[in-house]
Structure 1
Amino acid sequence: MLLFLLYIIGLVYFMFFAEEYGRMPGERTYSYNLVLFQEIKRFIKYRDVLGPMAVLTNLVGNVVGFMPFGFILPIIHRGSRQFLWITLLTFQLSLLIEVTQLIFKVGSFDVDDLLLNTIGGMLGYLVFWICNKIRRKYIG
């Protein structure tokens, strides 16, 4: 439970307070993208201009950042050991973060982030499911 709480605190810090990712207080404007795959295509198309770190941070970071959610939640709450349930909860957490970013003008609301974050939660659950199958096979 403590590990999950630390993960959520770290996620909130990264999403809202990490100044090195362009979230400076003086630059607060409403920023949003409602076109699916628009930002993903932009990051891939301009990867040479943006640099590999920006591409990795946006595309891979959004997936990897939500994998612990999909992995840890079924461990601490037995009732959430269904793929669809984890997918919905991951989407809801991501939507909450994106809407909060929009309301407080910190970062931007991006449907691509919703997709990538949800995929991350789903992959985290897949890792949990595989580990659980192996555990059951050898431990019982």
Structure 2
Amino acid sequence: MFFLQGLYDWLEQLAGGRYNHFWLVHLSFRSLDKALQVYLFWIIYRLIYLLRKKSKQEIVRKNKEIILWLFVFYVILLYQLTVFRWGFNFSTAFEQLRSLDHVNWQPFVETLKLTNGLTLFDFIYNLFGNIFWFVPMGLMLPALLKKSKQIKTLLIGFGVSLSIEVMQFIFQTGISDIDDVIFNTLGTLLGLLVFSGISWVKNKVKNRLKED
């Protein structure tokens, strides 16, 4: 790790031996560190783009720009956590393709099996983790879109989730499961509902201020 190695080493010494699922902490730190490295390249590109836009005296909406920066980092981190993690290798991806038997096509079967494990942690992480990680998709993406925000957001959320499952299958960095697509899309929908609620409140406040 480039940015977070020192912090991770300290945390591992502090709690690594006492935490049964410390591999999640390792995955999170490693993915966050990689995401920051990729994000730096995007920052450089974006700053050059904004400088050119400023030189042409074009308008830059600050609120939308902030959301864009957050959204790009979120997407980079999402793919680092799910696809481009340890075990990922471009050169060996197509050497030995798995059969489609490795894909779970039956909804909720594998998720329900997790309730029979030694602890409920795997079930809770699989269910709520897949929902939680896609809430920002539904929350931020509508603010960046112009028309048909709800439909486009749900379609993009579904498409991103599907692309993750396909890449996990190809690169063998995860288990491709129809449940993940369902829960991810549900997370996108929840984020979209929060965004719609915030927009409704903002419009109500604006109308009140106009009336006053």
| Structure number, greater radius of gyration | 2
Paired with 2:148 and 2:165, the residues of 1 have a C-alpha distance of 23
TM-score under structure 2 normalisation?
0.57
Task: Give CA-to-partner distance per residue, 1:9-28, whole Å, 9 cap, x none.
Answer: 11011102455xxx688xx9
Paired with 2:72 and 2:88, the residues of 1 have a C-alpha distance of 26
Count residues with an aligned counterpart. 131
2:112 to 8, 16, 41: 41
RMSD: 2.1
> Per the alignment, do residues 103 and 4 of structure 1 end up closer, same or farther by CA in structure 2, a change over 3 Å counting?
same
Give yes or no for contact 1:73–1:80 (8 Å, CA) kept in 2: no
Alpha-carbon offset, residue 52 of structure 1: 3.2
Alpha-carbon offset, residue 105 of structure 1: 0.9
Alpha-carbon offset, residue 29 of structure 1: 7.9
Paired with 1:43 and 1:34, the residues of 2 have a C-alpha distance of 16
SS at structure 1 position matched to 2:172: coil
Runs of 5+ in structure 2 lacking a partner? 1-67, 90-95, 208-212
TM-score under structure 1 normalisation?
0.83
Task: Give CA-to-partner distance per residue, 1:4-58, whole Å, 9 cap, x none.
Answer: 0000011011102455xxx688xx98432111111221123x15x1x23322221
Alpha-carbon offset, residue 129 of structure 1: 0.3
Report whether the alignment pairs 1:32 with 2:103: yes
- Aligned twin of 2:202: 135
- Aligned twin of 1:10: 77
Structure with the bigger RCO (C-alpha within 8 Å, sep 6+) is 1
Paired with 2:129 and 2:148, the residues of 1 have a C-alpha distance of 24
Residue type matched to 1:67 in 2? V
Identical-residue share of aligned pairs (%): 33
Runs of 5+ in structure 1 lacking a partner? none
SS at structure 2 position matched to 1:109: coil
Give yes or no for contact 2:134–2:188 (8 Å, CA) kept in 1: yes
Report whether the alignment pairs 1:73 with 2:135: no
Task: Give CA-to-partner distance per residue, 1:64-91, whole Å, 9 cap, x none.
Answer: 0001001100011122422x33222211
Report whether the alignment pairs 1:92 with 2:159: yes
